[in-house]
Amino acid sequence: MAKYSLAALLWSWVVVSPAVGQPSIAQTLSEDPADEYLQEVREPPNPNALGLIELLDRSSNSVPKILEAREKVNSQRAKALAAEGAFDRQLSSLSRSRAAGFYGLTFIDNKLATPLRNIGGEVYGGWRISDGDFPVYEDEYVTLGFGELNFGASIALLRDRQIDSRRMTLRDRAIEIEMAELDYVLASIEVQHDAMIAYWNWVAAGQQLIIFKDLQDLATNRTGALSTRIQEGDLADIELVENQQRVFSRRNLVIKAEQALKNAALALSFYFRDETGEPIVPGRELLPSGFPAPETESRNLTSDIGVALDRQVELALIDRRLELASNRRALGRNELLPQVDLEMKVARDFGGGSVTRDETDLFVGFEVSVPLERRKAKGEIAAAEADIRALEQRRKNISDQLIARIGQLANTIEAAQTSARLAAGELRLAERLEAAERLRFREGASSFFLLNQREDARAEARLKQVNALALYQRAVTDYLAITADTAALRVRL
């Protein structure tokens, strides 16, 4: 059988194209090949297919990493409630009786104290009563017959006025709740990103299996026709042997593709779960018909970078850590101050007894304490300021990396769009060449070897298209994650 060069084949294609209703090569190259092949890849839509939105909704509700992050938020809220306990009202009661000695006395002092949140100190009210004989040196315990009602306050004027350990703990707990919520968002973004990557890998594996099965079916279905032509003396026996070799070779590709699809389905099952949270291994019947068409518009890098910097979770976490370090520095500066507390108390006795106690008493006083060496406070301030500087550098580093990564992914997306369009054009040409070769083979003007080459070239072009579309979807997924697009990732806030 005569052999034909690629140039001759292309020329014969141009000649026979009008006869078979096909456009010329010049027409094909002048058209946009993406128009036809950048739609859902090759198969009709599957109404039972697993959609990406359904997958993301399931993963956001059931993947253990997300559920763990939610519980950590609840844990931090519980710790914040515990920190509120430092400002709980305290009811105390002191009772004392002298069991032996010259004097016999009984004394009861009840007090309700409320710590102050806005300024250091507390307010309190109490009632105390005494009975019996008291020595002169215990005269402060003596009350009239119905006891003494008193109200008072202790207010910090310098140290502990703006911040103290209790209020710093409250601030820290509030920040730690925000950090736990940010960790939840970060975990959700990571899980949803990985779920999308697993989904597109599964779709790509399904498309690759379809391609290899089509190749296998071509070789298998050709066996009968080849046997008939050999019996009629139209072909040599070696052509059937070569076809059988193709059947085995393509069957091996199908087996590998089936294994790849099984592995991709198992990877996807980590995110595709039922109502009880158990993984579901998706079957082939859930495969979508192909990839959606890539976007045609370019991304606005300046706008996307600005938005990403505003909502980037890692940067927000660093900002919260900066707040924690600032709180530690403020507490250290507070410890440098002298303690000056204002004490005030109003007391009134009721009942019978000495007339010297039958008046309202007002007490005012100050408690002063001055730290001397203050090494602990100075060390805490220096450590906090060093942490702040380190965090600021880390923030700049992450911000710079983020800007560079967004630019890289934008370039990757643009390149993947171009690759998908080129792959679509290559596939269109490969199909035209295969159709022309098949016609020539039926007319006896081509060889079985060349026809196989055309079939393999078409399959390779289809694989290139699938890989280009998969690369595009993975790049878009990375872009959504790096820009923290929680809406597109279906993150539950």
- Amino acid identity at 23: P
Give the residue from 199, 221, 156, 189 showing the smallest Cα distance to 366: 156
Domain ranges of the chain: 6-80+171-323+387-482, 87-166+335-375
Mind listing the pLDDT tens digit for each residue in 329-341? 999 999 999 999 9
Average pLDDT score over residue span 100-120: 88
Class in CATH terms, 6-80+171-323+387-482: mainly alpha
Q: Return the percentage of the chain with pLDDT > 70, whole number.
A: 91
Reported confidence tier of residue 342, pLDDT bands at 50, 70, 90: very high
Average pLDDT score over residue span 94-114: 87
Main-chain dihedrals φ then ψ at residue 280, nearest 5 degrees: -120, 125
Q: State the residue for tokens 């072909």.
A: 235
* pLDDT at res. 491: 93
pLDDT at 140 > cutoff 90:
no
* pLDDT at res. 439: 87
Reported confidence tier of residue 192, pLDDT bands at 50, 70, 90: very high
Mind listing the pLDDT tens digit for each residue in 22-55? 333 333 333 333 333 333 334 557 788 999 999 9
Give the 3-state DSSP-derived string for the chain, with helices as H, strands as E and coil as C: CCCCCHHHHHHHHHHHCHHHCCCCHHHHHHCCCHHHHCCCCCCCCCCCCCCHHHHHHHHHHHCHHHHHHHHHHHHHHHHHHHHHHHHCCEEEEEEEECCCCCCCEEEEEEEEEEECCCCCEEEEEEEEEEEECCCHHHHHHCCCCCEEEEEEEEEECCCCCCCCHHHHHHHHHHHHHHHHHHHHHHHHHHHHHHHHHHHHHHHHHHHHHHHHHHHHHHHHHHHHHHHHHHHCCCCCHHHHHHHHHHHHHHHHHHHHHHHHHHHHHHHHHCCCECCCCCECCCCHHHCCCCCCCCCCCCCCHHHHHHHHHHHCHHHHHHHHHHHHHHHHHHHHHHHHCCEEEEEEEEEEEECCCCHHHCCEEEEEEEEEECCCCCHHHHHHHHHHHHHHHHHHHHHHHHHHHHHHHHHHHHHHHHHHHHHHHHHHHHHHHHHHHHHHHHHHHHCCCCCHHHHHHHHHHHHHHHHHHHHHHHHHHHHHHHHHHHCCCCCCCCCCC
Q: Which residues contact 263 (CB under 8 A, 6 or more apart)?
A: 205
* pLDDT at res. 33: 35
Q: Return the percentage of the chain with pLDDT > 90, whole number.
A: 60
For the four alpha carbons of 422, 427, 432 and 433, in that order, the dihedral sign comes to: positive
* pLDDT at res. 44: 56
Mind listing the pLDDT tens digit for each residue in 47-85? 889 999 999 999 999 999 999 999 999 999 999 999 999
Mind listing the pLDDT tens digit for each residue in 246-281? 888 889 999 999 999 999 999 999 999 999 999 999
Average pLDDT score over the chain: 85
Main-chain dihedrals φ then ψ at residue 105, nearest 5 degrees: -145, 155
Q: Which residues contact 160 (CB under 8 A, 6 or more apart)?
A: 120, 121, 334, 339
pLDDT at 446 > cutoff 80:
no
pLDDT at 235 > cutoff 70:
no
- Amino acid identity at 294: P
What torsion do the CA atoms of 461, 467, 472, 473 make, to the nearest 10 degrees? Answer: 130
> On the CB side of 52, how many CA atoms lie within 13 Å of its CA?
21
Beta strands 121-132 and 90-97 are unpaired
* pLDDT at res. 450: 84
pLDDT at 240 > cutoff 90:
no
Full-model pTM: 0.80
Position with higher pLDDT, 22 vs 440: 440
Residue 52 CA, chain-centre distance (Å), reads: 17
Average pLDDT score over residue span 452-463: 89
* pLDDT at res. 359: 86
Average pLDDT score over residue span 198-204: 97
| Residue 391, both tokens | 């965090």
* 421 CB burial (10 A radius; 0-12, 13-18, 19+): buried
Reported confidence tier of residue 159, pLDDT bands at 50, 70, 90: very high
